[in-house]
Chains A and B, each alone.
Chain A
């Protein structure tokens, strides 16, 4: 199998990588680019732990092959903060205790981030719909929804 060259924007920076066409985006991010904020849970698109944004839309990186992001803008949890400053959404996750074991958190934050890009004033049902594809095994959904709501208000 031949390696292929792909170019894309990763967390606001242009990058070029050489990888195999059967490499999942999730593995490219975690193992080749050391962005381990993106988690692997189920590996079949059900849990949302591997959620990232492609062109501002939430997607499961376990269901995407690396070459599919050629020319796209990819955002992982590492790309949210700037100069060490967390986003309001991230601060609210901390403030409202919307983290427990933390495994679902990056995906959860990115799903919420994608929602807020598209809809700055979501109602509770829209929040629930946006995070329906993210499972929290600690079942801290209430705090997570509160953290997102607080971000909407601010």
Chain B
């Protein structure tokens, strides 16, 4: 059952921020694809909401803007819009790939980018690509505007740095250097409309057969999405060979296991992650060579 509530639809960002500042039990509504079924299954995350503040049509939150060195994606841009946007596809294709695999078309037509990660679920498909692209997010309250890296914003499962009265207003993605190639991988129980069981994003750049830089963003293999900096650091300057990838894959598996601890699913997930990572790296480098 959806609890008794009030519905507000402010026309401007300022009006929304003012309302949120004055109403502690108000919660932001955008696509609603998490919150409405959440009510339905009586999720504890959504009890105590008295008012929903619909921000999905606030113009400031609806734009994708290409700047000189970055791309700014409004918080309420939908995944259907992200999949198709030429600027996203050109500069940050892993985000477009992740968006195209998210839910169904019906979900992608409603679900918004910020809505995907503000609840900090480990299976959020936008997170691994945004992490490897070093995305920052802009947070706004009635009193102030601030910026924080996505990595720092995601605190622990289902907890972020977002405070009462604040809204994520945009995602700022620096344009990656042109020599980066990447892949996003998602494994669900089936291909469509599936919650990610395993998700991973990789970006790599090579120079004279050596790994110049490697970026690894984890999704549903760690309790929250994170960058695996130790493995990235170790990879730097190594020969881009199958031996190195094998070494990195083993190291990645150990890291993930160290973070998650031994779980019932580890027996399955660990070798899958290692093999997957190895295959993704091989595929990326083969592609480079040809």
Contacts and interface: CB of A to CB of B under 8 A. Distances in A.
CB-CB nearest 6 A-B residue pairs: A133-B104, A132-B192, A21-B7, A44-B37, A22-B2, A1-B4
Secondary structure of the B contact surface, majority rule: loop
Contacts of A65: 2, 7, 29, 32, 36, 52
12 contacts: A4-B7, A21-B7, A22-B4, A22-B5, A24-B36, A44-B41, A60-B106, A67-B7, A68-B32, A68-B54, A111-B105, A132-B192
Nearest to B190: A132
Interface residues on A, range: 20 to 34
Given A43-B40, A57-B80, 19 more contacts: A1-B6, A44-B37, A44-B41, A45-B36, A46-B193, A57-B109, A58-B106, A63-B32, A65-B2, A65-B7, A65-B52, A68-B32, A68-B56, A111-B105, A111-B106, A129-B192, A132-B193, A133-B105, A133-B107
A72 B100 CA distance: 25
Contacts of B6: 1-2, 21
Interface string B104-125: 1111011000000000000000
Interface residues of B, number: 28
Contacts, number: 89
Nearest to B51: A21
B37 A45 contact: yes
A134 B6 CA distance: 31
A45 B7 contact: no
A65 B39 CA distance: 12
Contact of A45 (B9, B52, B106, B192): B106
Contacts of A45: 33, 36-37, 103-104, 106-107
A134 B2 CA distance: 24
A95 B258 CA distance: 58
A59 B110 contact: yes
Given A62-B36, A64-B36, A130 B7 contact: no
